[in-house]
A = this chain, B = another copy of it.
Amino acid sequence: MSLLSETIQKIPAIDQPFYDKALERLANQARPAGSLGLLEEASARLAAIKKTLDMRLPNKYILTCAGDHGIVAEGVSLFPQEVTAQMVYNFVSGGASINVLARHAGADVRVADFGVNHDFAPDLPIFHKKIAKGTRNFYKEPAMRRDEAVSAIEAGIETVNDLCAEADVDMIGTGDMGIGNTSPSSAIIAAFSGIAAEKLTGRGTGLDDQGLSHKAAVIETALKKHGPDPKDPIDVLAKVGGFEIAGIAGIVIGAAARGIPVLSDGLISTAGTLIAAELSPATKPFLFAAHQSVEIGHQYMLDRIGLQPLLHLNMRLGEGTGAALAMEILDAATRVLSEIKTFEEVNIINAPEN
């Protein structure tokens, strides 16, 4: 049996009795029922995942997944491809946006290369999981072979396994770096949903109107040419995806199999998360959506998976930046459950219908 199917089979169910116990405690806390909104659902789900009402998530990791994209040959991004590798070095030296926001959240940033068009020295402290030096140009041919897509997902699973071999891991936030990677992400949600690429394509790093309609046309043409099968997530990934997107899908599956909650970042991370959720709906109870990206395809992905984003900060950066910020919200959710006293505990009159 392959690592992928074996790992999918290992994904546990979350603990319903702990979920129910958490909801009961939340409903009896000395405040109006339901008044903490999304924090309550997050809190109950984390309790069910961790099998305790007194959970803490001290060991937090952002896995920033990098890869390059042949589709940049079609002029779909403002930045040159070299920036992907340059940013990997920036992550390693700690000066990038994700380093700053992860430090603030008390999370460690680890970088994984699934397909950057650059030779990194073997001693660079990243997860070396390169499948190829970038995808092919999916405007002209499929982005990768089917076996490459499976290998990239399995490389994501191995990344989680490697990380867990060296550290305790309570939560993983996904992140991405790859010049051109909003195009495969929009293509993926278009392939699954059947909605026109035009409605799912955003400006990426800052395209103008002309650039935006060119990008949408490139994606639409590619989808018509390759006809990815929406019932076959590996086919979608192979035909219009990316190596870092596949890696993220593998990370989601690998984390869920170990009972680790995953915070999905923006458009690209959620494209990977969507591939994982389509491959195995059993991943869904372990998933949290960090934020609502400005990128228009993101909302469609979240709706399809069934996730409500925690933050709406008009961000569109990636790297895992939204996931880092949302980790603080999930940390708050863990405290809510155990630390807020009930009406009984503090001897306060409850509302009559509660």
Interface residues of A (CB under 8 A from B): 29-39, 78-80, 82-83, 86-87, 89-90, 93, 95-97, 99-101, 103-105, 204-206, 294, 310-317, 319, 321, 325, 328-329, 331-332, 335-336, 339-341, 345-354
Contacts and interface: CB of A to CB of B under 8 A. Distances in A.
A31 B82 contact: no
A39 B313 contact: yes
Copies of this subunit: 2
Contacts of A315: 35-39
Given A30-B96, A325-B329, 6 more contacts: A30-B87, A36-B321, A79-B350, A96-B341, A101-B335, A311-B312
A97 B31 contact: yes
B317 A329 contact: no
A349 B82 contact: yes
A329 B313 contact: yes
Contacts of A87: 30, 348
Contact of A313 (B38, B80, B86): B38
20 contacts: A31-B317, A31-B319, A32-B205, A32-B206, A34-B206, A37-B314, A39-B313, A78-B352, A83-B349, A86-B349, A95-B341, A95-B346, A96-B340, A96-B346, A100-B339, A101-B332, A104-B332, A206-B351, A310-B313, A312-B312
A97 B36 contact: yes
B37 A86 contact: no
Contact of A35 (B317, B340, B347): B317
Contacts of A328: 104, 328, 332
B341 A90 contact: yes
Interface centre among A33, A101, A204, A313 (most CB of B within 10 A): A313
A107 B89 CA distance: 36
A215 B21 CA distance: 34
Contact of A80 (B34, B36, B206, B349): B349
B86 A348 contact: yes
A349 B79 contact: yes
Interface centre among A35, A78, A321, A354 (most CB of B within 10 A): A35
A30 B90 contact: yes
A353 to B, nearest CB: 7
Nearest to A328: B328
Nearest to A348: B86
Contacts of A32: 78-79, 204-206, 316-317
Contacts of A90: 30, 341, 346, 348
Contacts of A294: 37
